[in-house]
Amino acid sequence: MPRVLLLIPSDSYRALDFLQAARHVGVQAVVGTDQPPAYDPADQGHLLALPFHDPAAATARIEEFHRTWPLDAVVAVDDAGTQLAARASAALALRSSPEEAVVAASNKLVFREVLAATGLPGPTFQAVPVSMAAAAAARAAPYPCVLKPLFLNASRGVIRADSPAEFEEAFSRIKAILADAEVAARGGALAETVLVESYLRGAEAALEGTVIGGELRVLAVLDKPEPLEGPFFQETMFVTPSRHDMALQTEMARQGQAAVAALGLLDGPVHAEFRIDGNQVRLLELAPRSIGGNCARLLRFGTGETLEVVILRQALGIPMGGTARESRAAGVMMIPIPRRGVLRAVTGLGAAKRVPGIEGVDITLKRGQEAVPPPEGHQYLGFIYARAESPLAVEQALRAAHAALRIELD
């Protein structure tokens, strides 16, 4: 039986979905975790504790494991493990993108530099050291602009500024985020720089795809119906199929392929984000991993296979079969956190689930846990899933279900 190592950080939403996908595909899953206990041969090859923050040491441990229990693929379930998956795959001569390509795609500054070199349209940008005086940085910034860390995701630390005063406040907030011990340890040298980009107007959309031998295969284009204009950028909805003109969707695919080629990505999932303003399409980012959170649950392919199944089949070189998305419209809402506070209760779940088209409501934040919205926070309160005959019906169902919820925060 083929064996796949799933790199699953302790705070990942996606452990269950990938383990279920492994059973569906018929492969043995080994969980690579960033938490103790340390690897013990008595675990019979099902668990491997790894220092995600040290890819070299983690790869050495994976190589040692591989000598006893040979691996056929190494798959990162989200951002935290992408570099390690690429390095370990190269060490074991397994299918993957090169480590340097994954690192470049994951570094927002390097990504911007690569895209600028290819001539793809995008914002103007500059790197600002966190040690720089905020007032001096503000004088050199374009307005409106967006400030962001080089390596965080889920809109963490992404702030729009329309004036020097707003810039200084945003810069201070991002410096505080980057000074957090856990964030600083994860980012290393990347935590010493803030990226400043000119603000791009327009609606946002996303492209979910997979790269096979350097060629991008589009799996789905997803709309974000809510306006994301700042000052913070808390994502709330993905709906597919897209309602954007097909010419714009084709341009998204073209720019995605150009970015894949420029970065040197060869194999694996990608998730791209775009701004669309009139007939102009601009690529915001292209991450070497699949869509985050539990959002992948809105996607089904062929005869009902999940995105995780598609990812595992590709990684293992198993024929993928049909990757056409199901015909029905689908969507997910990442339940927004209205304000900072301790979660006491979420009521109205029964009414939300009874909304026509709603398939499920998951509250993933635990009672008693602090809820922190972006830009400081990066977790979701929960997820609402819907399917219907049209994207509009999906969007309406998600909004109605969300309206039925009552979120109690102290």
Q: What angle do CA 164, 234, 141 make, to 5 degrees?
A: 20
Which domains are present in the chain?
3-97 (3.40.50.20), 123-198 (3.30.1490.20), 328-410 (3.90.1170.30)
What whole-number distance in Å separates Cα of residue 72 and Cα of residue 225? Answer: 40
Read off the pLDDT band of 42 (50, 70, 90): very low
What does the pLDDT read at residue 34?
86
- For residue 65 the two structure tokens come to 């494991």
Q: What angle do CA 310, 313, 316 make, to 5 degrees?
A: 150
DSSP-assigned letter for residue 19: H
What whole-number distance in Å separates Cα of residue 204 and Cα of residue 228? Answer: 7
Mean pLDDT taken over the chain: 95
The model's pTM is 0.94
What whole-number distance in Å separates Cα of residue 92 and Cα of residue 103? Answer: 19
What does the pLDDT read at residue 219?
97
Residue that has been written with the tokens 């935290």 in this structure: 80
Average pLDDT (49-69) is: 94
pLDDT tens-digit series, residues 128-163: 999 999 999 999 999 999 999 999 998 999 999 999
Decide: helix, strand or coil at residue 370: strand
Please spell the DSSP secondary structure of 187-206, one letter per residue: HGGGGGEEEEEEPPPSEEEE
Closest CA to 383 of 235, 166, 217: 235
What whole-number distance in Å separates Cα of residue 124 and Cα of residue 198? Answer: 5
Q: What percent of the chain has pLDDT over 90?
A: 90
What whole-number distance in Å separates Cα of residue 250 and Cα of residue 279? Answer: 12
Closest CA to 24 of 335, 303, 281, 340: 303
What whole-number distance in Å separates Cα of residue 286 and Cα of residue 108? Answer: 9
pLDDT tens-digit series, residues 230-256: 999 999 999 999 999 999 999 999 999
Tell whether the model's pLDDT for residue 121 goes beyond 60.
Answer: yes
